[in-house]
Amino acid sequence: MIIAIDGPAASGKGTLGKRLSEHFGFAHLDTGLLYRAVARVMLDRGSLLTDREAAALVAQNLDVTHLDDPRLRGAEMGEAASMISAYQPVRDALLAFQRQFGSQEPGAVLDGRDIGTVVCPQAEVKLFITATPEERARRRHLELLKRGEQAAYETILDDIRRRDERDMSRSTAPLKAAEDAMTLDTTHLDADAAFRAALELVETQRA
């Protein structure tokens, strides 16, 4: 069984993906970390993020054993990942790994931008998680502060709006809800309420 979770940055899809995977005993993959890992390698090598061929080569040889690196969660990697994720060769290189991950038994939860539309269109359950840009910026701001990183709320809000525009307008696997996905707006929900709502949607689709 595959649970596909899509949505924009800081909508809460990652937290929901992890909690749902724990609830059902499924494997969990935050697919955004794959793109962040590619960006990290490029930045460490001094490669330009506009170099599509270099990005594709890194993606083809990506070591996925270090996706727990705290550095991947930073704002720098988020912005860089948003750029390289628009490159079709990069997405092609990472697609096979994501699909293989989703084939695990008894099931898997994958969250990202195009899971229900491109990566696992056959998923039994598809959720699209969203929230207002202002609320997502507030959450990201608090997250960064907890990690000891300094960032202005207004800067984060501008970044989120820019990333939304880039993700939704790109020609390659744009961010959008699958036609058969169920949408959950988490703007006014805390983590526990969002989980309960998501779990109810999952059970509804499974039935």
pLDDT of res. 143:
87
Per-residue pLDDT of 111-133, as tens digits, reads 999 999 999 999 999 999 999 99
Q: Euclidean distance between the first and final Cα of the chain, in Å?
A: 13
Structural domains of the chain sorted by starting position, each given as residue range(s) with its CATH number in brackets: 2-206 (3.40.50.300)
Full-model pTM: 0.93
As annotated, the binding site includes 7-15
Q: What is the pLDDT of residue 12?
A: 93
pLDDT computed for residue 8 by the predictor:
95
| Res 150: pLDDT | 84
Both tokens of residue 110? 């994958």
Structure tokens at 21: 């995977």
**DSSP string computed for the chain:** -EEEEE-STTSSHHHHHHHHHHHHT-EEEETHHHHHHHHHHHHHHT--TT-HHHHHHHHHT--GGGTT-GGGGSHHHHHHHHHHTT-HHHHHHHHHHHHHHHT-SS-EEEEESSIIIII-TT-SEEEEEE--HHHHHHHHHHHHHHTT----HHHHHHHHHHHHHHHHH-SSS-S---TTPEEEE-TT--HHHHHHHHHHHHHHHH-
What is the predicted pLDDT for the residue at 170? 87
Q: Which residues are annotated as a binding site for ATP?
A: 7-15
Q: Mean pLDDT in each 10-residue stretch from start to end of the chain (207 residues)?
A: 96 96 97 96 96 97 93 88 93 95 97 96 97 96 87 94 91 92 97 97 91
Residue 185, exposed/middle/buried by CB under 10 A (0-12, 13-18, 19+)?
Answer: middle
Quickly tell me which residue has 């970390």 as its tokens: 33
